[in-house]
A and B are shown apart, each in its own frame.
Chain A
């Protein structure tokens, strides 16, 4: 059964199983039971990219954004801890 998963993503079923795909470009990201976040293009930005009042978060947190690998549609934005990201914890 096809149904939405969240804004810009849906669950799509065919003869081979259930998949998660982008509703904007129909790019299949992964199987339903897999984590679609691992397939996305990911950027880490300074928290102030979300606005000037985020300056107290600088040095502690980063703004993580996930994009569809097919069309670049923005799928998720959240604040993540800087230290958790190891070598990736450098903002662009």
Chain B
């Protein structure tokens, strides 16, 4: 039975469903144990219909909300036949060939019953800090097949009718290098799913299940109808882009977007065959990336749900880097293949938006991804650990404003927290100067940090370097805007860093510590006490011609240390008074004219 819903009730209840996903996220952060969950936001919490269709994807990574929907469907298929689905059960799945993206992202899904009737599902994922792979932390640069990448679980019942299966739980955590922390992360997922169940049951009790069902259907219909209308407003066409996943090898990804009426067909035909490195994406992850690109460009103000699936069709040939088949590895994919597919799917959508008078203002410069590292070893308290190093990125500029500096969905860890838990000393961590791509609107600045091993009982820490390892990563400019500074992981070996530490001085310039400088591809190595690890996050790309940027804004960028004096003059063509740093508008006009003539001659 479907009952009609008045607009006010619809608004209240649809927002209440959204609020439940936010409370699930808060629960993950407060109960979880590792930095990924408690500080970095590397998790997902969402609600689903009884058949696994997305009801509310919350504010988490939409790609995971889509994939977790597939996880619910796989659990239904498996357990309806064998094992049963009962109130207060909680299931676990992390098989990338079924629904997950890579094994470290553990999906937990839980049926939500009301008076013994299945009314829906909740789902979470957290990126656990170890999964028993060949490399600590799970991301395994040396893996050539999935069997080297840790536990792969096609679906099991972790909680049976409300009772934790301790034998299963202990088996799982004992197969990781960090059983206590992984155990905490699994329990935070159980807690978040329990919160979802309790809150949903309160709603069913208060409003009755029929009204909630009607609101759910209306939410999906609403998102789909508005999205379809928006897509129809844009001229039909075909847009292409190509990119590469780069490290010491290279894999090409090709994408053509065909738009006709209210249909968006993302066609990856022509992409390279799957690799024997863990950069490959399963089909559902490629779908999830395109889903995320669509909801963040055309549906950013709409409830994120199955309604956004409707217009999307994916063509991804089997056995390629965008539709991996057994036994190819996947452990590096969220920060490699995923970044490339996210970039390309957003890029073709941006090209499409630019052809619409109404939508062209939404165009934004995009990023090809960033570097990231895991670190593992014995900490200053004598305990083995595994953790993460990454930093805040700058966002791309848009057609009407500068990109945001050092922000983003994935937040960054606190330096003092890192130093007090792990054997590291930061030499500096700061916003990047000259990082953001130049443009009429400048890309947001990323960050840079340098750290060394400190108070490490073994005198070393293992580092696993991954992410987008080619130099053509970071923000890409759009419509004349310049690219941003590349994201880097650099090893400086045999430096003078101990001299700085012993004298309690810190280098202003990284070159001051000396040593042999090496850019890091995908690799695993020991960082030793005389070494320094330098991490530069991605910055945002610029929008439009830098010579059209308001000179007053360039002066402000200089005062805010976002750009250097050289960049103000050489790239932006702005002449500034030496003392006041106020722009000389007449001289600026002349310099810009000369630069324009020189560049385009």
Once bound together, how far apart are the Cα atoms of A90 and B544, in whole Å? 25
> Is residue B477 within 8 Å, beta carbon to beta carbon, of the partner chain?
yes
Q: Are B600 and A72 in contact (CB under 8 A)?
A: yes
Contact check: which of A51, A60, A75 meets B485 at CB < 8 Å?
A51
Q: Are A77 and B480 in contact (CB under 8 A)?
A: yes
Contact check: which of A4, A43, A76 meets B480 at CB < 8 Å?
A76
Contact check: which of A1, A4, A50 meets B483 at CB < 8 Å?
A50
With A56-B488, A76-B479, A77-B483 in contact, do A4 and B567 touch (Cβ < 8 Å)?
Answer: no
Contact check: which of A1, A67, A75 meets B479 at CB < 8 Å?
A75
Once bound together, how far apart are the Cα atoms of A76 and B479, in whole Å? 5
With A43-B600, A52-B567, A56-B488 in contact, do A11 and B477 touch (Cβ < 8 Å)?
Answer: no
Q: Are B471 and A50 in contact (CB under 8 A)?
A: no
Once bound together, how far apart are the Cα atoms of A67 and B545, in whole Å? 11
Q: Are A7 and B354 in contact (CB under 8 A)?
A: yes
Task: Kindly supply a per-residue 1/0 record for chain B positions 459-483, scoring 1 wherever the CB is within 8 Å of any chain A CB and 0 otherwise.
Answer: 0000000000001100011111111
With A49-B571, A67-B600 in contact, do A3 and B435 touch (Cβ < 8 Å)?
Answer: no
Contact check: which of B472, B543, B567 meets A79 at CB < 8 Å?
B472
Once bound together, how far apart are the Cα atoms of A56 and B481, in whole Å? 20
Binds A, one of B272-280, B355-363, B493-501: B355-363
Q: Are B437 and A50 in contact (CB under 8 A)?
A: yes
Once bound together, how far apart are the Cα atoms of A90 and B480, in whole Å? 21
Q: Are A4 and B482 in contact (CB under 8 A)?
A: no
Q: Are B486 and A54 in contact (CB under 8 A)?
A: yes
By beta carbon, the residue of chain A nearest B481 is A77
> Is residue A91 within 8 Å, beta carbon to beta carbon, of the partner chain?
no
Task: Kindly supply a per-residue 1/0 record for chain A positions 40-80, scoring 1 wherever the CB is within 8 Å of any chain B CB and 0 otherwise.
Answer: 01010100011111101100110101010000111111110
Cβ of B47 to closest chain A Cβ, rounded Å: 39
Cβ of A25 to closest chain B Cβ, rounded Å: 13
Cβ of B201 to closest chain A Cβ, rounded Å: 51
Cβ of A84 to closest chain B Cβ, rounded Å: 12
Q: Are B486 and A57 in contact (CB under 8 A)?
A: yes
Q: Are A4 and B477 in contact (CB under 8 A)?
A: no
> Is residue B103 within 8 Å, beta carbon to beta carbon, of the partner chain?
no
Which of A41, A45, A51 has the most CB atoms of chain B within a 10 A radius of its CB? A51
Q: Are B479 and A54 in contact (CB under 8 A)?
A: no
Q: Are A74 and B480 in contact (CB under 8 A)?
A: yes
Which of B235, B435, B545 has the most CB atoms of chain A within a 10 A radius of its CB? B545
With A56-B488, A72-B600 in contact, do A7 and B479 touch (Cβ < 8 Å)?
Answer: yes
8 Å CB interface, B301-355 against A: 351, 354-355
Q: Are B355 and A3 in contact (CB under 8 A)?
A: yes
Q: Are B483 and A79 in contact (CB under 8 A)?
A: yes
Q: Are B472 and A61 in contact (CB under 8 A)?
A: yes
Once bound together, how far apart are the Cα atoms of A79 and B243, in whole Å? 12
Which of A6, A54, A67, A76 has the most CB atoms of chain B within a 10 A radius of its CB? A6
Q: Are A53 and B355 in contact (CB under 8 A)?
A: no
Once bound together, how far apart are the Cα atoms of A72 and B599, in whole Å? 9
Residues of B within 8 A of A41 (CB): 600
Q: Are A4 and B472 in contact (CB under 8 A)?
A: no
Q: Are A4 and B399 in contact (CB under 8 A)?
A: no
Once bound together, how far apart are the Cα atoms of A5 and B237, in whole Å? 11
Once bound together, how far apart are the Cα atoms of A72 and B432, in whole Å? 32
Residues of B within 8 A of A8 (CB): 479-480
By beta carbon, the residue of chain A nearest B482 is A50
Cβ of B597 to closest chain A Cβ, rounded Å: 8
Q: Are B434 and A51 in contact (CB under 8 A)?
A: yes
By beta carbon, the residue of chain A nearest B234 is A3
Once bound together, how far apart are the Cα atoms of A41 and B564, in whole Å? 29
Residues of B within 8 A of A67 (CB): 599-600
Residues of B within 8 A of A53 (CB): 432, 434-435, 485-486, 536
Once bound together, how far apart are the Cα atoms of A7 and B363, in whole Å? 10
Cβ of A1 to closest chain B Cβ, rounded Å: 7
Once bound together, how far apart are the Cα atoms of A79 and B363, in whole Å? 20
Q: Which 10 A-B pairs have the closest CB atoms?
A: A53-B485, A7-B479, A72-B600, A74-B480, A74-B545, A67-B600, A50-B482, A6-B354, A51-B434, A77-B477
Known: A41-B600, A49-B571, A78-B476. 7 other contacts (CB 8 A): A4-B360, A7-B354, A7-B479, A56-B488, A72-B596, A73-B545, A74-B547
A-B contact pairs, 20 of them (CB 8 A): A3-B235, A3-B356, A6-B351, A6-B479, A7-B399, A43-B599, A50-B438, A50-B483, A51-B434, A51-B485, A53-B486, A56-B486, A56-B488, A57-B486, A63-B482, A63-B483, A65-B599, A74-B480, A78-B483, A79-B483
